[in-house]
Structure 1
């Protein structure tokens, strides 16, 4: 080894199971940022790392390239590769180039889909006639980890499609739909565009509020949409105690609605939240999305729960004609069970959590109120005037979302900042927080002369 301190890096990389370039980059970056690898420490050569850690030289080269872009390491012609001085760290790509609106994932934190697709091709049923609404491999992969004993499963497209499909299966045209707020951006627009009437259910740190749910149930909605994992929550996730309270509210209702649970976080969740399906398996389904974790092109979510509602969802999707590709389903099954993918998702979960907490803390230093749930894919920033804040951000090339689009009725003025592509660099995060703080105080007035 070129420096005794670099033995820390070798031990950490040798213990990492995924052996991907992103995991090498993530482990090394963490050790640099927490001070385990101090400024000026000379790192092992690429060949030494590959030999001692069971890595390919190509993997190390790719990781080192990303670390140089982040300014965390530097390579000198004579001195080898060393941990860079903190003052020399560049700010990275501009804020305007980051997707802070739609929540597109950080593509560097997603697995390589090529091995998964190859695994998906390895089936005796490839190109055979018939439709597998869910393949045996995918059913086996999701069954043990489902939050309640599901009567049936079906695979559908991405999470947004699966959520709407479940609601469409549960509610007739023009029916009343109750949704836990705030909801997924665009979901309310879709519901109203196709003719559903929508009412909101308020939530706090433990999930949907029992009194608000009871009030909604008195209006006899056909379906209630809950968010146990809190993908867009301002607070936490559904707690076991709150789940029991909600179950009691459903039990007291005069008319039993269908229950659809939206799990947009999927494998990125810190911990799986309880399900109302534990009390009502015959009228509850959970829709689990995998796109944020594994990539948009996996194009497969899983709906599991009530056999009747799953059968309705199958018929609602082009009258039962449509079924997801066996290749995509089996590729998803491979990703769910792959240890290397699991290690990468662990890294993504940690990075997203750090970015989320970092932005909230930076905003609070400016005296700006900001909230985000444990699993939330967004940070909600309180503002004086929503339109004024959106326009002020846009003038700086930063596009963020409107809180009003995620609430049924009037909501306090706020803007929505997507978490996945937030910067890691504290200085870049501070720059964004300052911009948002300025936007939070701005107002918009229109004058007609």
Structure 2
């Protein structure tokens, strides 16, 4: 058991906020400078050395405890928890891992405390006016977006409660019952229930490694599609991130039909910014495109704030559809999101989270390939697609072991797809090769077993 001197630790701590101190200690742990079992200085000694309040250090230690990085014992002080790689030794059983909903790993979410506290000090708190989006949040989001090629075009912004709500609003505002809508296949998890609930007919647009296939989109538009839904960053795709060339090809087709609305789904928010060359139709077709920016997977579902971006006429229609036009999100949550988008400590956490999610995707692909299964995932995807002979039988067999996965037919609107698919969320997978090999073999066994009804 070792201790770290207060002066030594203080030399590494340049930030003086609770979140900043916690983040810097986290980085020291990740770098191996602080190893498991190391005892930290007392709260009072470190506060004195840094020139901050005892409460500041106590809050920082609290944030680290929430992430299971430190533990405090009555007589043993505060110590670094023994190694437990995120997603590794904490594994208990597959029934505790979300393989269905593509939800994030809570250990990789950044803390909200500082942003929420700051939001409570804003002067317009409790104002009775309704703002569709706060200027601070709009500016923070705008800085993350690539400007449209039409330099004079002005985007309109609105805050909504989630990417799911944003997709529903954008679809409802762009269609009427009986319309045809083109949807990238596979569709985002659960999305196909939206057009069905609105009385729309869906035409699937397949993708290849560069994005939606232009000829398929052309055919869908010729069949009367009034809107086109796709995910440029391939958040749940088996194979693609939209390329620059493909964006240009699609734009040529869409420009010939200016009445068509493009709905771009970006459910990973800042987590999908792994490649500065990811292109969106929002850039090349700004007057036709509504973009749905989700932040739940990056910052947590309780933040309950997503953003719609697009031409004013489309955003205004979406606002009207929301609660009869009375559509305003909590200012506290909007201010908190604006803070998180600007905060450098949060940015470092998001960068680290991206690396973990990418590692899990790669390790899962390797494990499934080693088991002899045909599996695929796009370069930015949180979904692993596994080819199986009978998807429903395989899913039922897996459920008997506590593994709940989705079947491919829930993400395809037509029967043109050949063969069966399982969709497995990779975001919460353990970063443990032996565990992943075990998962792959469970899936393999599930594909080989038949469902037999017997009397007992």
For the aligned pair, the TM-score class normalised by the smaller chain equals 0.7 to 0.9
Judging changes above 3 Å, is the alpha-carbon distance between structure 1 residues 130 and 293 closer, same or farther for their aligned structure 2 residues? same
Alignment length (residue pairs) = 426
- The aligned residue for residue 426 of structure 1 is 433
Is the 1:116–1:331 Cα contact (8 Å) retained in structure 2?
yes
Is the 1:377–1:418 Cα contact (8 Å) retained in structure 2?
yes
How does 1:70-109 map onto structure 2 within 5 Å? 90=89, 92-109=91-108
From 360, 366, 373, the equivalent of 1:361 is 366
From 191, 197, 201, the equivalent of 2:201 is 197
Cα distance in 2 between the residues matched to 1:433 and 1:328: 40
- The aligned residue for residue 268 of structure 2 is 265
- The aligned residue for residue 72 of structure 1 is none
Are 2:222 and 1:218 equivalent residues in the alignment? yes
Is the 1:220–1:257 Cα contact (8 Å) retained in structure 2?
no
Is the 1:202–1:208 Cα contact (8 Å) retained in structure 2?
yes
Cα distance in 1 between the residues matched to 2:111 and 2:230: 32
The RMSD of aligned alpha carbons is 3.5
Measured after TM superposition, the shift of residue 19 of structure 1 is 4.5
- The aligned residue for residue 243 of structure 1 is 247
1:202 alignment partner, SS class: strand
Cα distance in 1 between the residues matched to 2:389 and 2:11: 47
Are 2:403 and 1:401 equivalent residues in the alignment? no
Is the 2:100–2:405 Cα contact (8 Å) retained in structure 1?
yes
- The aligned residue for residue 73 of structure 1 is none
Cα distance in 2 between the residues matched to 1:44 and 1:235: 44
Judging changes above 3 Å, is the alpha-carbon distance between structure 1 residues 363 and 15 closer, same or farther for their aligned structure 2 residues? farther
2:183 alignment partner, SS class: strand
1:437 alignment partner, SS class: helix
- The aligned residue for residue 435 of structure 1 is 442
Is the 2:239–2:378 Cα contact (8 Å) retained in structure 1?
yes
- The aligned residue for residue 422 of structure 2 is 415
How does 1:151-190 map onto structure 2 within 5 Å? 151-190=155-194
Are 2:40 and 1:46 equivalent residues in the alignment? yes
- The aligned residue for residue 342 of structure 1 is 347
Judging changes above 3 Å, is the alpha-carbon distance between structure 1 residues 346 and 82 closer, same or farther for their aligned structure 2 residues? closer
Measured after TM superposition, the shift of residue 319 of structure 1 is 2.4
Q: Could you tell me which runs of 5 or more consecutive residues in structure 1 were left unpaired when the two chains were aligned.
A: 70-76
Measured after TM superposition, the shift of residue 235 of structure 1 is 0.9
Is the 2:69–2:80 Cα contact (8 Å) retained in structure 1?
no
Is the 1:363–1:433 Cα contact (8 Å) retained in structure 2?
yes
Is the 2:182–2:202 Cα contact (8 Å) retained in structure 1?
yes
From 208, 213, 235, the equivalent of 1:209 is 213
Judging changes above 3 Å, is the alpha-carbon distance between structure 1 residues 334 and 84 closer, same or farther for their aligned structure 2 residues? closer
Judging changes above 3 Å, is the alpha-carbon distance between structure 1 residues 42 and 135 closer, same or farther for their aligned structure 2 residues? closer
TM-score by length of 1: 0.84
Measured after TM superposition, the shift of residue 194 of structure 1 is 2.5
Measured after TM superposition, the shift of residue 2 of structure 1 is 5.9
1:424 alignment partner, SS class: coil
Judging changes above 3 Å, is the alpha-carbon distance between structure 1 residues 388 and 325 closer, same or farther for their aligned structure 2 residues? same
Judging changes above 3 Å, is the alpha-carbon distance between structure 1 residues 61 and 157 closer, same or farther for their aligned structure 2 residues? closer
Cα distance in 1 between the residues matched to 2:366 and 2:430: 14
Is the 1:378–1:417 Cα contact (8 Å) retained in structure 2?
yes
- The aligned residue for residue 68 of structure 2 is 66
- The aligned residue for residue 124 of structure 1 is 123
Q: Could you tell me which runs of 5 or more consecutive residues in structure 2 were left unpaired when the two chains were aligned.
A: 51-55, 149-153
Is the 1:239–1:274 Cα contact (8 Å) retained in structure 2?
yes
From 283, 289, 295, the equivalent of 2:288 is 283
Is the 1:277–1:284 Cα contact (8 Å) retained in structure 2?
yes
2:379 alignment partner, SS class: coil
1:379 alignment partner, SS class: strand
Is the 1:26–1:347 Cα contact (8 Å) retained in structure 2?
no
- The aligned residue for residue 146 of structure 1 is 145
Cα distance in 2 between the residues matched to 1:135 and 1:381: 43
1:297 alignment partner, SS class: helix
2:225 alignment partner, SS class: coil
How does 1:324-339 map onto structure 2 within 5 Å? 324-339=329-344
Deviations 1:343-387 (A, max 9, x none): 111111111111111111111000111111122121111112101
Cα distance in 2 between the residues matched to 1:142 and 1:382: 38
Judging changes above 3 Å, is the alpha-carbon distance between structure 1 residues 224 and 84 closer, same or farther for their aligned structure 2 residues? closer
Is the 2:205–2:220 Cα contact (8 Å) retained in structure 1?
yes
2:291 alignment partner, SS class: strand
